[in-house]
Amino acid sequence: MSDVEIKRGLEGVVFTESELSYINGQEGKLYYLGIPIEELAEKSTYEEVAFLLLYRRLPTKKELEEFDQKLKENRAVRVEKIASFANYPKDAHPMAALRTAISELGLFDPKEEDTSYENLLETGISLIAKFPTVVAALKRLREGRLPLEPRNDLSHAGNFYYMLNGKEPSKEQEKLLDVALILHADHGMNASTFTALVIHSTASDLYSSIVGAIGALKGPRHGGANEQVLKMIQGIGDASQVPEWFKEKLEKKERIMGMGHRVYKAYDPRARILKRYAEEVAKAHGRTREYEILVAIEKEAEKYLAPKGIYPNVDFYSGVVYSDLGIPVEFFTPVFAVARIAGWVGHILEYTEKDNRLIRPRAKYSGELDKPYIPIEQRG
């Protein structure tokens, strides 16, 4: 294997085909099933996007109504499970709590080991419906409040907002959360999706695959980056301090959170959409300081980072949007998971149908061979 080229981080390695999402990193474009993300964010709903990712086509009106009804029927989580969530350590990271909660759901599912396509689909729909319920329950328990029962008279985003905050959202808030969920629903072969497929390829159960994906998304170099952006903003006094702060960051060669992406060498289209909503939030609800700081950082980045192909990514503006929706910073990544569960399940279904080959890469051996075993008495 001396002449084997190592692809660090599997960069550039293509191991399968997928119709679900396509990223044109050079031009800053994202598509779900060939439909531009801008079209879906403006005209679609999360329910429709979830159907699109699971069935790889847009639904008819009747199909969407039936799918929406199925999601509503699966929203509730058994009371004893919610009660067990209350025993989780209050200082545990919410993603660790979510990881454990989803594993618990699998533990009590009598069909957990059924890996047929039909059961994967049914369980996947159930998980898409239950993720908001679980995340909202974990948030409210952490705040010392009782979790709320899901409401079937509200949309997926509207119900999620209600369970998080205990009140119905305005039309603007409902649309804002719906758009955020759509933008995060899928994004090619990212780390968490790949993790889910690796686990699934071993013929393990769906819950194990999703728990693995949650673990990957938890990391600050993947889903956890959106938390770091808001913390970064909180460490800057106001927009006037950004030029000096930015220069100091560059001199120390420290990373600017929310800037740059492995795939995009142009402006992330999701960030462009969220920037517009972040501006609306700032004007309507007085979150101008955070927004002005982000705009100032982006202005400095245009001078120093854009020439290198480094632009804002989806995490850059999402924190301001989430914060305005009553979501505390530590729950930004669980909300990301509420969106991405549709993409994870969609990729698992697609891989099951198209390939289903065990993912088993190799590593180049770099050690010595035929070394003698030295008895412990003779070791220095």
Within 67-130, strands assigned E span none
Those residues whose C-beta lies under 8 Å from the C-beta of residue 79, and which sit 6 or more positions away, are none
Rounded to 5 degrees, what are φ and ψ at 206?
-65, -40
Reply yes or no on whether 315 is catalytic. yes
Within 85-196, strands assigned E span none
The string of DSSP letters for 297-353 reads: HHHHHHHHTGGGT--B-HHHHHHHHHHHTT--GGGHHHHHHHHHHHHHHHHHHHHHH
According to DSSP, the β-strands at 29-32 and 35-36 are antiparallel
Question: In 3-state terms, what secondary structure has residue 259?
Answer: strand
* Marked catalytic residue, from 205, 261, 268, 324: 261
**Distances in Å between the alpha carbon of 14 and those of 17, 45, 61, 74?**
8, 31, 36, 36
Reply yes or no on whether 93 is catalytic. no
Given a contact cutoff of 8 angstroms between Cβ atoms, the answer to whether 54 and 345 are in contact is: yes
Question: In 3-state terms, what secondary structure has residue 30?
Answer: strand
Given a contact cutoff of 8 angstroms between Cβ atoms, the answer to whether 337 and 218 are in contact is: no
Reply yes or no on whether 222 is catalytic. yes
With residue 32 as reference, give the H or E element that holds it: strand 29-32
Distance CA 271, CA 287 (A): 18
* Marked catalytic residue, from 178, 186, 268, 315: 315
* Marked catalytic residue, from 93, 109, 114, 222: 222
Given a contact cutoff of 8 angstroms between Cβ atoms, the answer to whether 305 and 252 are in contact is: no
Place of tokens 């998080």: 164
Those residues whose C-beta lies under 8 Å from the C-beta of residue 295, and which sit 6 or more positions away, are 239
Which residues have a catalytic role annotated? 222, 261, 315
